[in-house]
Amino acid sequence: MSPTARSTLSTADERRETVIASAIEVFGRSGYLGTPISAVATHANISSAYVFKLFPGKETLFVAALERCFDLIEQALEAGAAAGAEPTPAGILDAMGGTYAELIADRSLLMMQVHAQSAADVPEIRASLRRGLARITRFAKTRSGASDDDVQRFMAIGQLCHLIVTTGIEAEASDWARILTAGIRHP
């Protein structure tokens, strides 16, 4: 491979990473249906034509952004598991939950997942979302050694965290809000 080919590949890889990061932020704000490729391109400071060169369609770009979200989730869960003070299944899941709560303080990552759920009628997005959920469920199960019931509860609490954060329930003083937020860590 010539030096020119290497620098071109490097530039394309770097731009691809920039576009994915921009896609997470822009799709996180306005969703799959509400986001034109041009908005991602503008945020990434490149042309729409170049985005289409890297990603042949909006579905492909959204899926790449969603897959990156799941990469970041798995990295955060691993960091939590590794840093956890209690090496029991419950302790590992608890530590993972703490790092996940910190991760979704970045609303872009949180909203990217929420928007993926709302766009799950698009076959490519549904398939990517299912792969990501399978990956995180298997990771939590394998890394923690927890029972299936405990892993299900862990995943369900993660979804409850999404609901709490997206709707601002933590700021609500009503009895129903206290019931939903009791014992839940969230940003």
CB 101 within 8 A of CB 161: yes
Q: Is residue 186 part of a domain?
A: no
CA distance 139 to 40: 31
Q: Is residue 121 part of a domain?
A: yes
The count of structural domains within the chain is 1
For residue 2, the model assigns a pLDDT of 46
CA 122 to chain centre: 18
Q: Is residue 24 part of a domain?
A: yes
Q: The CATH number of the domain where 78 resides is what? A: 1.10.357.10
CB 103 within 8 A of CB 76: yes
**Six token digits for residue 109:** 């990552």
Q: How many CB atoms lie within 10 A of CB 140?
A: 25
Which domain covers residue 81, as residue numbers? 3-181
Q: Is residue 19 part of a domain?
A: yes
For residue 1, the model assigns a pLDDT of 47
Q: How many CB atoms lie within 10 A of CB 16?
A: 16
CB 146 within 8 A of CB 90: yes
Q: Is residue 26 part of a domain?
A: yes
CB 66 within 8 A of CB 132: yes
Which residues of the chain register pLDDT less than 70?
1-10, 186-187
Q: Is residue 103 part of a domain?
A: yes
For residue 114, the model assigns a pLDDT of 95
For residue 10, the model assigns a pLDDT of 61
Q: Is residue 28 part of a domain?
A: yes
CB 80 within 8 A of CB 50: no
Q: Is residue 86 part of a domain?
A: yes
- pLDDT tens column, 128-168: 999 999 999 999 999 999 999 999 999 999 999 889 988 88
Tell me which amino acid residue 62 is.
Answer: F
CA distances from 78 to 83, 88, 124, 163 (A): 8, 15, 27, 23
